[in-house]
Amino acid sequence: MDLSAFLIFDPAYQTDLVGYGMNRPFALDRGKLVLARLEEHLGEPVQFRLPVPIDRQTLQLVHSEAYIRSLSSSLTWTEIFELDETLDENGHLPGARFPLHHIISDFLLKAGGTVEAAFACLESGFCANLGAGYHHAKPDRGQGFCAINDVALAARSLLRDDKCKVRKLMIVDVDFHQGDGTVLCLQEEMKAGRVYTYSIHSHEGWPDEKVHSSLDVAIKEAEQGHYLEMLAATLPQSISDFAPDCILLVDGSDAYEKDVLPGTKFIKLPLPVMQERSRFLSDLFFRHSLPVSLVFAGGYGPDVWEAHYATVQAMLARYAGLTSLAL
């Protein structure tokens, strides 16, 4: 089935972390597993669109020139990935086949998918980049495993393109962690009333020092049983009040109970709740006739793809008319 109007992916999204000398629980096969489950449910191969890497000029829409230059140094990447290992004189981690800074090519490719998905959703109603979502990267530095803020790049690209006629957009971030970097990257647009940032995230979780989104819904560990209620009590009104032209959805799966990152212990939602979150979001956006672009963002371990599949499934049921996929 040709779903290239709705899905962007490249097998290269499965970054060879071992080749770079890293051992981290990133779930880099999430896109592959989501596609495999789609094919299983549809009973036929699924066609998707291949992304094109972003260029330096696009990077400059959000990131400072000094920071962009620093990405050619492997030392910068040890900070982004929070690594303690010592680099050799060629920028290799112990046992690595590639210098660490060469990993930028993977980020440029995945960020390209995010920008493409943002423009594509204006035509198809929905488009998912099956990866990326680096919402912790700031204008002048990366952190939290995020080097390039593709969410902010997509937002700024849309708003500065006169042809697509997007005047206002909303970023809906449901990752376990607050999308702090995106907020800092888009301060100008937020002050001008062109971007609204909605973040529902862990109150106790990292980052320890939160920034101010347009609306922050911070879920305390003791409140996680009311997660869906708090989402339903805040997001619909935000959409009605702001009246965006489109949605950029940061669909983090790290609030799922099967996420293995130790820092996500404060919210552990079972799969039925994650599926209900997906259904709620898809129904809400569709009811408001809003184009939706999706990125995966956080998710760690072998099972978190199940939560992403729930959202892709729900969105395709609504926007592509694939009712056989309805939750």
Answer for the pair 22, 296: CB distance below 8 angstroms, yes or no.
Answer: no
Answer for the pair 52, 66: CB distance below 8 angstroms, yes or no.
Answer: no
pLDDT in tens, 200-210: 999 999 999 99
Tokens 């956080």 sit on residue: 298
Identify which of 3, 290, 269, 282 has the alpha carbon closest to the alpha carbon of residue 130.
3
Tokens 């303690």 sit on residue: 84
Helix axes 271-287, 227-242, angle to 10 degrees: 20
CA–CA gap between residue 151 and residue 106 (Å, rounded): 16
CA–CA gap between residue 81 and residue 200 (Å, rounded): 24
Tokens 């969105």 sit on residue: 315
* Amino acid (one-letter) located at 278: S
As averages over each run of 10 residues, the pLDDT of the chain (327 residues) reads 97 95 87 97 96 96 97 97 93 96 97 98 98 98 96 97 93 98 98 98 96 98 98 98 98 97 97 98 98 97 97 96 78
264: helix, strand or coil: helix
pLDDT in tens, 151-173: 999 999 999 998 888 999 999 99
CA–CA gap between residue 236 and residue 227 (Å, rounded): 15
**What is the number of H-type helices and E-type strands within the chain?**
11, 7
40 φ, ψ to 5°? -65, -45
Q: State whether the Cα torsion 64-26-156-112 is positive or negative.
A: positive
CA–CA gap between residue 327 and residue 325 (Å, rounded): 6
* Token reading at 13: 């999204």
CA–CA gap between residue 24 and residue 2 (Å, rounded): 34
CA 109 to chain centroid, in Å, comes to 14
User: What domains appear along the chain, each with residue ranges and CATH number?
Assistant: 7-325 (3.40.800.20)
Q: How many CA atoms lie within 13 A of 196 on its CB side?
A: 19
User: What pLDDT, on a 0 to 100 scale, did the predictor assign at position 239?
Assistant: 98
User: Looking at the DSSP assignment, which residues form a beta bridge with residue 292?
Assistant: 126, 247
User: What pLDDT, on a 0 to 100 scale, did the predictor assign at position 164?
Assistant: 86
Cβ contacts of 285 within 8 Å, gap of 6 or more: 247, 249, 292, 318
∠ CA 121-43-289 to the nearest 5 degrees?
A: 25
Identify which of 93, 55, 266 has the alpha carbon closest to the alpha carbon of residue 176.
266
The answer to whether the predicted template modeling score (pTM) of the entire model surpasses 0.75 is yes
User: What pLDDT, on a 0 to 100 scale, did the predictor assign at position 327?
Assistant: 64
